[in-house]
Amino acid sequence: MATAQPIAAQEFSHVVSAHRQQIFRFLLASTRDVDLAETLTQDAFLKAFRNWASFRGESTALTWLMRIAINVQKDHWRNRRLQFWRTTRTNAVDVDEAGEFLPSGESSPEQQLLAREKVGKVWEVVKKLSGRQRTVFLLRYVEEMDIAEIAGATGLSDGTVKAHLSRALGRVRAELGGRA
């Protein structure tokens, strides 16, 4: 993994199979659009394959891939040609629909309903967060990355990551009816 030399497609396929699902999950949570998440995941791995030589092993492969995925997503929205589609696209599922995928576990139907409602509220907050706050929030609370890893993936300082997290969490608290 730490080699700076280009690796063969066969070797790269191991990297893909090891991290593809996680990258896809992050992009799916960021966009709420299955098709777009698939496309961006594909783009991210293509970019990773082309730039594998520049990976020096200073971070984990996942952090490096996550950074590429974040950039691919940013590029996607920055692309002027897609601005029209950004405003008119309807592929992103509704936050209520996204919250439907709560595993039932051993809780009662009432508890599940309550939990689903609260998850929907979290989605509402995530939807309204700024791009950077959303990225930091999802990396922390969905991908369970620590502050240093998030800083590595986003290119932000630890302090900035903490500040974004704190603000995002405050908004979630406020939405759930607690102290902001």
Partner 1 sequence: MNPEYSNDDKTSHAANGAASNTEDAKLEAVLGDFRASVHAWSEATYRNRPMVYSPVSRRALGQRSLAWSLSLAVVAGIASAGAYEYHQRDLAHQAVVQREAEHQRQLALEQHARDVDELLAKVESDLSREVPSAMEPLASLMAEDSTQ
Catalog residues that contact partner 1 under the rule CB under 8 A: 9, 13, 16, 20-21, 24-25, 28-29, 34, 38-39, 41-43, 45-46, 49, 98-103, 115, 118-119, 121-123, 138, 141-142, 144, 169, 172-173, 176, 178-179
CA distances from 174 to 97, 163, 177, 180 (A): 22, 17, 5, 5
DSSP 107: -
56/100 with CB nearer partner 1 = 100
Query: Shortest distance, CB of residue 42 to partner 1, whole angstroms?
Result: 5
Q: How far is the CB of 18 from partner 1 (least distance, A)?
A: 12
| 115 CB burial (10 A radius; 0-12, 13-18, 19+) | middle
User: Dihedral through CA 13, CA 18, CA 23, CA 24, nearest 10?
Assistant: 80
Nearer Cβ to partner 1, position 61 or 142? 142
Closer residue to partner 1 in complex, CB, 58/84: 84
In whole angstroms, how close is the CB of 1 to partner 1 at the nearest point? 18
Q: How far is the CB of 138 from partner 1 (least distance, A)?
A: 8
Q: Which is nearer to partner 1, 20 or 67 (CB)?
A: 20
Q: Other CB atoms closer than 10 Å to residue 127's CB: what's the count?
A: 13
CA–CA gap between residue 94 and residue 172 (Å, rounded) = 18
